Amino acid sequence: MPVVSPDIAHRTAGTREEPGDSLGRLAEAYRRIRRTTERLVEPLAVEDCVIQTMEEVSPVKWHLAHTSWFFETFTLRKFAPSYALYHEGYPYLFNSYYVQAGERHCRDRRGYISRPTVAEVMAFRRHVDEHLLQFIEQADPEVAQKAAPVIELGMQHEQQHQELIMTDIKHVLSVNPLRPVYKAFEGEAGDAAPQTWVPFDAGVYEIGHAGGGFAFDIEGPRHRCFLEDFLLADRPVTNAEFMAFMEDGGYRRSEWWLSMGWATVEERGWTEPFYWERRDGAWWTYTLGGMKPVAPNEPVAHISYFEADAYARWAGARLPTEQEWEVAMSACSPSVEDAHFLEDAPMHPRPARPQGTAGANGSPPAGAAALRQLYGDVWEWTRSQYSPYPGYAPGEGALGEYNGKFMCNQFVLRGGSCVTPRTHIRPTYRNFFYPEATWQFTGFRLARDP
């Protein structure tokens, strides 16, 4: 099973919970996460929810159905013998990549499906909610305890799709010449403090999830790694800094690019970051709040690995490894409460706060004197290939396909973004994308050898 998580009945350190208490909390967490998904969809029209604008972008309606299919398939159909399949065609339409779970509809044709309607998908969600909550409340406690880790995996899976809903709908709205607004917001001013470098000593470090809460299987096993001395930039690269790269011929000079990166630049005609466009001599960008001038002090976002790597070479630096990133995170221990996530308006990267200033909840963020924005705002590319940790083995069955089978030709990102749910992120979280991907809120910070 692709989770590294203790029995949910024993999650609180130093106490022993009754099974009913832990299952009650599980039910409440389930309700909260499912409500959050539906609140994200409230600003959208039905027409917004059925469009697919590229293969990587799924219609909102599909996300709403797929997350429900996940609970139906891996919890209700496995642990509730009396449960009857809601619709015999839904497993085919709403399975994603779980080969062992059955045949699947083509990913690039999800936008072709006008039926079931959005209303019918919402009825499917209500049906699954009713039966899953009934299962938690009425099932034999021993059976419910066995199902609890799968339900928790399903909730984490839904939070991943909450982020995907926001990144996908941004792309959907952006291709509309009217540049519709998902939700209006005002930009946030920020400092233009020069980037500084934070040193870290060579040594043997432990990384990976150590237990004590939920984690995906790829976050473990915990293991040792040796690092040489390195320096890490105190914040991500900003729009203004990336503009300097562009003005120096960044997209015209091949010497800074990996061969595959330069081939992608030529093939796709890249001349600026994704969502940027030139208007009357100034750079503008599409946001979930509509078109806005590019704010110089915000972290640059929607950057591919290729672009991040090219900028780093131009700047005389490099991207950090994921091991360096996690060691730095552990040393600074920033608070997720002071970071900018899905729950915080706007759903757009904000400028780095001056060192030592109060965070989102009014308290000085831990580690503020060293590194900023390790959590939230933009996912940060590392130069580490997405590969297994020593001793890793995927679980058996369809759920074993969740992460492990994608360990090829992708790079690891860390830290979460402005559309990542706050309760979904942790220091050991490993995201991964193909190096040409740009539709996610992806940015980067620099590393350097002494």
pLDDT of residue 9 exceeding 50, the answer is: no
pLDDT tens-digit readout, 73-88: 999 999 999 999 999 9
pLDDT tens-digit readout, 162-174: 999 999 999 999 9
b/e code 170-185 from CB counts within 10 Å (16+ = b): bbbbbeeeeebebeeb
Q: What is the mean pLDDT of the chain?
A: 91
Q: Look at residues 72, 59, 61 and name the one whose alpha carbon lies nearest to residue 101.
A: 72
Q: What percent of the chain has pLDDT over 90?
A: 86
Q: Would you say 219 and 328 are in contact if contact means Cβ atoms under 8 Å apart? A: no
- Sheet with 411-414, edge to edge strand ranges: 431-433, 411-414, 379-385, 442-443
Q: Give the per-residue pLDDT at 18.
A: 55
b/e code 423-446 from CB counts within 10 Å (16+ = b): bbbbbbbbbbbebbbbbbbbbbbb
Q: Would you say 270 and 264 are in contact if contact means Cβ atoms under 8 Å apart? A: yes
The gap between the terminal CA atoms of the chain, to the nearest Å, is 42
pLDDT of residue 132 exceeding 90, the answer is: yes
Measure the CA–CA gap between 330 and 334, rounded to whole angstroms. 8
Q: Note whether 8-174 and 197-448 share their fold.
A: no
pLDDT of residue 135 exceeding 70, the answer is: yes
Looking at the domain covering 8-174, what would its CATH class be? mainly alpha
C-alpha 293 chain-centroid distance:
25
Q: Give the per-residue pLDDT at 294.
A: 97
H/E segment holding residue 28: helix 19-41
Alpha helices in 95-235 (DSSP H): 118-138, 141-174
pLDDT tier at 329, thresholds 50, 70, 90: very high
pLDDT tens-digit readout, 58-75: 999 999 999 999 999 999
Q: Which fold has domain 197-448?
A: paralog of FGE (formylglycine-generating enzyme) (3.90.1580)
pLDDT tier at 368, thresholds 50, 70, 90: very low
Label residue 336 exposed, middle or buried (CB < 10 Å: 0-12, 13-18, 19+): middle
pLDDT of residue 437 exceeding 70, the answer is: yes
Sorted by where each begins, the domain ranges of the chain are 8-174, 197-448
Quick one: tokens of 296?
A: 């110089």
pLDDT tier at 15, thresholds 50, 70, 90: very low
Instruction: Give the 3-state DSSP-derived string for 351-370, with helices as H, strands as E and coil as C.
Output: CCCCCCCCCCCCCCCCCCCC
For tokens 């293969």, the residue is 55
Q: What is the largest CA-CA distance in the chain?
A: 67
Q: Give the per-residue pLDDT at 194.
A: 85
Alpha helices in 206-304 (DSSP H): 239-247, 259-268
Alpha helices in 175-277 (DSSP H): 239-247, 259-268
Q: Give the type of residue at 387.
A: S
Q: What percent of the chain has pLDDT over 70?
A: 92
